[in-house]
Amino acid sequence: MATVAPLGTGTRPYRDYLTPSLHTRFVRASKYTLLLCYAIACWMAEWNSLLWLWFPFGPTGIRTLLLFIPALTIYLLRIGQWHVGSRQTLTRAETFQKYLARKDTIFTLAVHMFSAWLYSEIYTWSSTAADRLSFTELGRAHERLKLNERPLYFRFLFVALAVAQTGVHLWKDYDRINIPAMQPKKLDELAAGSTVKKGPKPRLVLLKQLQPMLITAAGLTLFVTISGTLCYFLGPRQLLWDYYYSFSRNFISLAKTSKPTGLAPFAPLVAKFVVEGTLLVLLWEFANKAFDLYIAQEPLKNDKPITSDSKDPNGTLLNGLKAIKRAVKVMAFWELALITDAFPDRRKTIYAEMERKNAPTFQQVTDICLAEIRLLIDRLNVGLDPTYQPAASSAAPHPAPTLNLVPQISKPIKDDKQVVALPPKPSTKWEQFEAVTSGIAKMHSSSENSQQAYGREAINKGLKKAQEGAQQAESVASTASDKILSSPFGYVFGHSLPRRAKLVVLGAPYSHLSLVCNAITALSNLAAFSITEDQIGRFHNVVPSIIRAFTTAIKKIDAYMSSLQVHRSDKETLAKPEGERKKVPEVDQVRECLQQGLQNILAGFEKYLGGMGMSLLEISDAKKAAASLRQPEMLQTSAAR
């Protein structure tokens, strides 16, 4: 049995091991970004001075460090706002409404504007007199200095470029980090053993993506050049010039005229912005890509799990699995899946540690992973029945004690008497209207009030007209809704079936795909390897719970996907063949993980399940779930068995 460190000794927070690893990756990403800054600094330098061009401590070296600041601001932005998984909303309009007016959005815009402004200043300081980007320019011999409009226009375009890049950043969700969702391997692959399959080295990916990023940067810069120029001349040109002129007069003796001086020669100025704007966007894209590649690397150190250096590795890992911050929790689940898949020595310690506080290590790991699968089942139950209320606790509620405050003064109601319940209260305006009119009708429909026949007829006519009016209003609203949804503007309000399915299956506000799949993989691997590696023989006690959870999750996914109906506004789904409409890759990935994991567990424990407390019906359902393929026409009743 492995020796477990005493409580409070060696069990450190998971972030103490994750944070240094992330810092190391950030330094590596910054190193290659600094090389790009050096290349841009060389481009800005005067080519007639080769000595200063390649001398690292000269103007080029200083310019390189200054250019790294705009890239560093992007890194700081990403560090503060990165999240795991894609955004989950029902419609595009909901995404726009939810993420537009946030503080993070304003901060993203501010960071890009500062980065663009600083880059433009560095280029302006590096320019020569021939570029004509100084604040003033000489007029005639007898005239005072004139304020130069060219740097104002130049800086305006860089600010417009920052706004455009912010829109791209938010639209494409650059703050997202894609953590791999591991899938259980087949039995023959498990038996052969495995090692961690690392992806290509980030620096090679960056080098390969350099050309596509350059093309993207050039396209965005050309768009901003055209749209920004039109906006400048048709919009705030005079207003900006007035503030620019009033501010500059406090420091420079200028001519009395306050009219813009013009941008001639215009073409060379635009060409300079196209080149420098492209390089700036390339720097932004490179920084974002480098951050994504290095942060999404495996949680390993020297080809071992990052918690291996801890005095209590599994205790530290458990702290990560229980972490409140989602990014830390996702990394811990990824490390757990890697441990159960490719590190047999570490995997054996999970079975062997029995003296840990609260519960053995394998029991705590199993409970934490099963909790994620039960959350998946609860989300599916809510999707199938919106009135479903997940159980807050598995413990049976205690009956409230009876308080005898006053003596009984009347006989209790006899059981043989039928008690008539009050009708439910109307909830909508139309139901309230029906209740009122029905009450009036009943009041005037007594046999003693037959003389009120004319009144009752008038009430019935009014009720009929009200119903017709409500139907007409619903028809008009439906027609207007159809017109809006069928227009190009209705694209953002369309109800997409894949969006709805991913929102229910993968959760919100961000996708739980990696979290769920890595939990499934960890449980499947622990169950499969427990036959040969669990020397104490205790893990089999939790196998029935795992099988039940996997079976229920598969059946619920099938039932929910079968119950989905394609909305009339979902043109993309309606354009597909009918057999392909309910195929959502992310949902299918979760189901494949569950099915493969269930197959692996049944292959090792099928003959023992009867003696482990599972009924014949449960075993039969598990076999069917493990062997079945999801069909779009499956009935919803398959999950109610």
Report the 10 Å Cβ neighbour count for 633.
Answer: 8
- Residue in the block written with tokens 């944070």: 19
- Cα–Cα distance, 259 to 262 (Å, whole number): 9
Q: Find which of 167-171, 249-253, 263-267 is predicted with most confidence, using mean pLDDT.
A: 167-171
- Cα–Cα distance, 306 to 10 (Å, whole number): 14
- Residue in the block written with tokens 């811990």: 332
Closest by CA to 82, choosing from 510, 518, 516, is 510
Q: What DSSP string describes 50-86? A: HHHHH-TTSHHHHHHHHHHHHHHHHHHHHHHH-EES-
- Cα–Cα distance, 599 to 540 (Å, whole number): 16
Instruction: Tell me how far CA of residue 242 lies from CA of 111, 134, 152, 248, 474, in angstroms.
Output: 26, 18, 11, 10, 54
Three-class SS state of 49 = coil
What is the per-residue pLDDT across 165-174, written as a single tens digit (0 to 9) for each?
999 999 999 9
Structure tokens, 566: 């394609």
Q: Which pLDDT band, with edges at 50, 70 and 90, does 398 fall under?
A: very low
Is 89:173 a contact under the CB 8 Å cutoff?
no
Structure tokens, 220: 């965005």
- Residue in the block written with tokens 């004509």: 132
Three-class SS state of 638 = helix
The torsion of the CA quartet 49, 55, 57, 58, rounded to 10 degrees, works out to: 0
User: Span 341-364, mean pLDDT?
Assistant: 92
Three-class SS state of 162 = helix
Q: What angle do CA 11, 16, 17 make, to 5 degrees?
A: 95
**Non-local CB neighbours of 119 within 8 Å, separated by 6+ positions:** 67, 70, 158, 276, 280, 283
Cα-to-chain-centroid distance, residue 283: 25
Supply the pLDDT for residue 636. Answer: 39
Three-class SS state of 336 = helix
Supply the pLDDT for residue 439. Answer: 52
- Cα–Cα distance, 516 to 512 (Å, whole number): 6
Supply the pLDDT for residue 136. Answer: 76
Report the 10 Å Cβ neighbour count for 620.
Answer: 11
State yes or no: pLDDT of 476 exceeds 50.
no
Lowest mean pLDDT among 108-112, 122-126, 152-156, 198-202: 198-202
Q: How much of the chain, in percent, has pLDDT values that exceed 90?
A: 51
Sort strands 300-301 and 304-305 into parallel, antiparallel or unpaired: antiparallel
- Cα–Cα distance, 307 to 277 (Å, whole number): 44
Q: What angle do CA 337, 341, 345 make, to 5 degrees?
A: 110
H or E element that contains 147:
strand 146-147
Structure tokens, 113: 């504007």
Report the 10 Å Cβ neighbour count for 600.
Answer: 21
Alpha helices in 193-321 (DSSP H): 202-234, 237-248, 266-295, 313-321
Closest by CA to 351, choosing from 125, 525, 97, is 525
Model pTM above 0.85 = no
Supply the pLDDT for residue 50. Answer: 54
Three-class SS state of 88 = coil
**Non-local CB neighbours of 170 within 8 Å, separated by 6+ positions:** 99, 105, 108
Q: Which pLDDT band, with edges at 50, 70 and 90, does 5 fall under?
A: very low
H or E element that contains 619:
helix 616-627
Q: Which pLDDT band, with edges at 50, 70 and 90, does 126 fall under?
A: confident
Phi, psi dihedrals of residue 84, rounded to the nearest 5°:
-100, 130
If one compares 339 and 265, the residue with the highest pLDDT of the two is 339
Arithmetic mean of pLDDT over the chain: 81
Is 442:456 a contact under the CB 8 Å cutoff?
no
State yes or no: pLDDT of 407 exceeds 70.
no
CB-hemisphere CA count at 13 Å for 125?
13
State yes or no: pLDDT of 147 exceeds 90.
no
300 forms beta bridges with: 305
Report domain extents, the chain: 18-178+200-297, 306-385+495-630
Radius of gyration of the chain (CA): 34
Instruction: Tell me how far CA of residue 354 lies from CA of 55, 385, 627, in angstroms.
Output: 63, 41, 35
What is the per-residue pLDDT across 35-59, written as a single tens digit (0 to 9) for each?
999 999 888 876 545 555 556 667 7
- Cα–Cα distance, 273 to 119 (Å, whole number): 11
Closest by CA to 495, choosing from 91, 7, 22, is 91
- Residue in the block written with tokens 């460190």: 5
Report the 10 Å Cβ neighbour count for 513.
Answer: 24
- Cα–Cα distance, 369 to 328 (Å, whole number): 15
Q: What angle do CA 409, 412, 417 make, to 5 degrees?
A: 145
Supply the pLDDT for residue 223. Answer: 97
Q: For residue 190, what is the DSSP state?
A: H
Sort strands 176-177 and 83-84 into parallel, antiparallel or unpaired: parallel
Residues in the chain: 641
- Cα–Cα distance, 615 to 547 (Å, whole number): 12
**Non-local CB neighbours of 144 within 8 Å, separated by 6+ positions:** 253, 254, 255
Which residue type is seen at 539? F
177 forms beta bridges with: 84
